[in-house]
Amino acid sequence: MIEAIDVNKEYRRAGAIIRALNDVNLTIKSGEFVVIHGPTGCGKSTLLNVLSGLDFPDSGKVIFDGENIARATEDRLSRLRRMKIGFVFQDFNLINTLTALENVESVLWPTVLRSSEIEDRAIAALRDVNLLNRKDHFPVQMSGGEKQKAGLARAIIHRPRVILADEPTGNLDPDSEQEIMKLLKKINKENDTTVLVVTHRHQLSSFGDKIVKMEDGKIKSVE
């Protein structure tokens, strides 16, 4: 479903060239749960951004559903992300002036769907992540684990084919970390949703069907 072929990416920082991705090759099949782990700065978040079209590789191909998106237009990439990808972020990225329900609904604004259908979908998504009882609460009223549940509900409301999660447990306590990973696994199994998790915590590898280890911009192993 997603394939990186000979992908390279460099950044210039303080006059120095940083090789973030170095001849990366990776295949992610439909329905897989993939965990990419490695130390901070090894290139795993850059790889996630390239695979989702949030960033472009300097060279190589990124195949998403049979289409090379490495040189796609921003309009095309925006439609792809809106229709097929759900994002989960380390810092939650919730809007503080919106309730949990409204944050989840916001993914579908504007849309051809009726407001009642948007609300029904948002309620169903919150129920799926065990957060319906907090639907009228604002982010400031929620714990870190609850905020990430809201973020996860927001990621699945439009029924994406892929969930891309960048350090989704990075700001969570151990119990919340396990709960979020179990919810991701549940969504993966019940909906046949492809899930890609990037993390510096190798302990989370046990959740993956495929485990990818990265170091210094390179893939060191795939299990």
SS3 77: helix
pLDDT at 64 over 80: yes
Contact at 8 Å (CB) between 163 and 193? yes
* Structure-token pair, residue 178: 């396990």
Q: What is the mean pLDDT of the chain?
A: 95
Distance of alpha carbon 64 from alpha carbon 7, whole angstroms: 14
* Structure-token pair, residue 83: 């229709």
SS3 208: coil
Distance of alpha carbon 161 from alpha carbon 192, whole angstroms: 8
- What is the pLDDT, as a whole number, of residue 70? 92
Distance of alpha carbon 29 from alpha carbon 147, whole angstroms: 29
Sorted by sequence, the CB contacts under 8 Å of residue 200 that are 6+ apart come out as 37, 38, 39, 40, 167, 170
Q: The whole model's pTM is what?
A: 0.93
- What is the pLDDT, as a whole number, of residue 112? 67
pLDDT at 172 over 80: yes
Q: Write the class of the CATH domain 33-39+73-222.
A: alpha beta
Tens digit of each residue's pLDDT (9 = 90 or more) over 85-109: 999 999 999 999 999 999 999 999 8
Q: Where are the beta strands (DSSP E) in 58-132?
A: 59-64, 67-68, 85-89
Distance of CA 51 to the CA centre of its chain: 10
Q: Please report, for residues 21, 40, 75, 215, the alpha-carbon distance to residue 15 in angstroms, rounded to integers and kept in the order given.
A: 18, 21, 32, 22
